[in-house]
């Protein structure tokens, strides 16, 4: 059974054009544990891992013994830069590291397709032929077109790289996250209420998937 999505215009009306959605992208069984693993891996990869503390060997000073070994009645100490002293080194503190997790491409693709399938089944995936017909960017016009297609508060808009006017028109909207067809990922699909593809971007996504299958 094929799945079709109707293309709408900037006024929110159907243009009469339909696009057949490949079942291997938009009709797969969502794997929740897999999607969770991929999303957490993506978030972990975004961490800088730049936290750094100094050990007692890296803290400046403390070369001289604070007081003599015996006869003071106090515990023997070798340096005022030991962890128990104020200004001393840190024990087992954080050091620069990478939080990246190994995630195979097939896992990433499967999670993304599961997220897209969820949006299709929930009728939260829309396609528009163009947000703006003018040759110069107009944010107000693009905002109105988007509102005619989706009423969601957070929207993921997917455009092709060639749609420069569309990019500039939508880039200032705070409730819109822009991606190209090749950048679509599980996290951004799930993190936004609706997904709105331009017709060109959706056809590009389908074409890229066909090429990947042909070369696999």
**Phi, psi for 20 (deg, rounded to 5):** -80, 125
Overall residue count recorded for the chain in this entry = 216
Task: Tell me what the mean pLDDT of segment 1-25 comes to.
Answer: 89
- The answer to whether 189 and 112 are in contact (CB under 8 A) is yes
Residue 83 confidence (pLDDT): 94
pLDDT of residue 2: 66
The confidence score (pLDDT) of residue 63 equals 84
Residue 133 confidence (pLDDT): 86
Q: State pLDDT tens for residues 66-81.
A: 999 999 999 999 999 9
Residues 142, 197, 179, 32: is their CA dihedral positive or negative? positive
pLDDT tens string 78-102: 999 999 999 999 999 999 999 999 9
What pLDDT is stored for residue 209 in this prediction? Answer: 86
Rounded CA-CA distance 164/159 in Å is: 9
pLDDT, tens digit, 9 for 90 and up, residues 135-169: 889 999 999 999 999 999 999 999 999 999 999 99
Q: Report how far residue 41's alpha carbon sits from residue 103's, in angstroms, rounded to the nearest whole number.
A: 7
- The confidence score (pLDDT) of residue 174 equals 93
């Amino acid at each position: 059974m094929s799945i079709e999505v109707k293309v709408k215009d900037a006024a929110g009306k159907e243009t009469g054009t339909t696009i057949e959605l490949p079942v291997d992208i938009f009709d797969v069984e969502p794997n929740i544990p897999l999607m969770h693993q991929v999303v957490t891996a993506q978030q972990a990869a975004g961490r800088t891992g730049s936290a750094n503390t100094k050990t007692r060997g890296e803290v400046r000073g403390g070369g001289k013994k604070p007081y003599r070994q015996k006869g003071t009645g106090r515990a023997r100490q070798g340096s005022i830069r030991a962890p128990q002293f104020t200004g001393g080194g840190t024990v087992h503190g954080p050091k620069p590291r990478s939080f990246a997790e190994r995630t195979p491409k097939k896992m990433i693709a499967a999670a993304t397709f599961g997220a897209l399938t969820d949006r299709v089944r929930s009728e939260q995936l829309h396609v528009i032929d163009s947000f703006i017909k003018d040759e110069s960017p107009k944010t107000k016009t693009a905002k109105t077109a988007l509102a005619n297609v989706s009423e969601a508060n957070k929207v993921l808009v997917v455009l092709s790289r060639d749609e420069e006017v569309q990019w500039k028109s939508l880039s200032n909207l705070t409730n819109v996250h822009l991606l190209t067809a090749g950048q679509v990922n599980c996290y951004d699909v799930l993190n936004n209420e609706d997904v709105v593809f331009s017709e060109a971007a959706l056809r590009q996504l389908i074409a890229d998937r066909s090429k990947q299958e042909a070369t696999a």
